[in-house]
């Protein structure tokens, strides 16, 4: 099954947030600061992961993970198996926070569910085929998204 690119899904979710939050009150200074911090953290997480992939000369291409030449398990990937998707979800959460609308959280949840069910599941099958026991061990020790142990160490 052909899947849309994850960044395109994130953009669609952001546009849905915009539509769902029409008429919300203007952002307060504290909400703007929290949104900025969340966005910066999310960008750092996703960017750090992409840098690790480039440093290990492996692909970030989400549609053919069988092209992966190495298993990236350091940096952000030591805390979550999907730091680029966590980063995208974090940017959407920051956008919802900035917009100050509870309905704006719904597209974040839909994005996470779609990425988890369709994109990540397909990637994990390919990574098991490609890296076998190494991926199985990594998967057993690092959460798919974020868990308490991934945040506090």
Question: 60-106 pLDDT, tens per residue?
Answer: 887 787 788 999 999 999 999 999 999 999 999 999 999 988 899 99
| Cβ atoms of residues 91 and 10 within 8 Å | yes
To the nearest 10°, report the CA torsion of 96, 97, 101, 105: 40
Q: What is the pLDDT of residues 14-52, one digit of tens each?
A: 999 999 988 777 778 899 999 999 999 999 999 999 999
Determine the Cα–Cα distance for residues 92 and 42; give it in Å rounded to an integer.
9
- Least confident range from 128-132, 140-144, 148-152: namely 148-152
| pLDDT for the residue 64 | 80
| Residue 135 CA from chain centroid, whole number | 19
What is the model's pTM?
Answer: 0.91
């Amino acid at each position: 099954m052909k899947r849309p690119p994850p960044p395109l899904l994130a953009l669609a979710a952001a546009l849905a947030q915009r539509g769902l939050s029409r008429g919300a009150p203007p952002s307060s200074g504290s909400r703007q600061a929290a949104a900025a911090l969340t966005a910066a953290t999310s960008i750092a997480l996703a960017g750090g992961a992409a840098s690790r992939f480039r440093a290990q000369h492996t692909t970030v291409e989400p549609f053919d993970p069988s092209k992966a030449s190495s298993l990236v398990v350091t940096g952000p990937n030591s805390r979550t198996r999907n730091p680029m998707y966590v980063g995208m979800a974090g940017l959407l959460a920051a956008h919802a926070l900035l917009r100050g609308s509870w309905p704006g959280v719904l597209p974040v949840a839909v994005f996470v569910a779609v990425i988890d069910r369709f994109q990540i599941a397909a990637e994990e099958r390919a990574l098991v085929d490609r890296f076998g026991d190494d991926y199985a061990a990594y998967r057993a020790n690092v959460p798919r998204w974020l868990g308490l142990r991934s945040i506090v160490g």
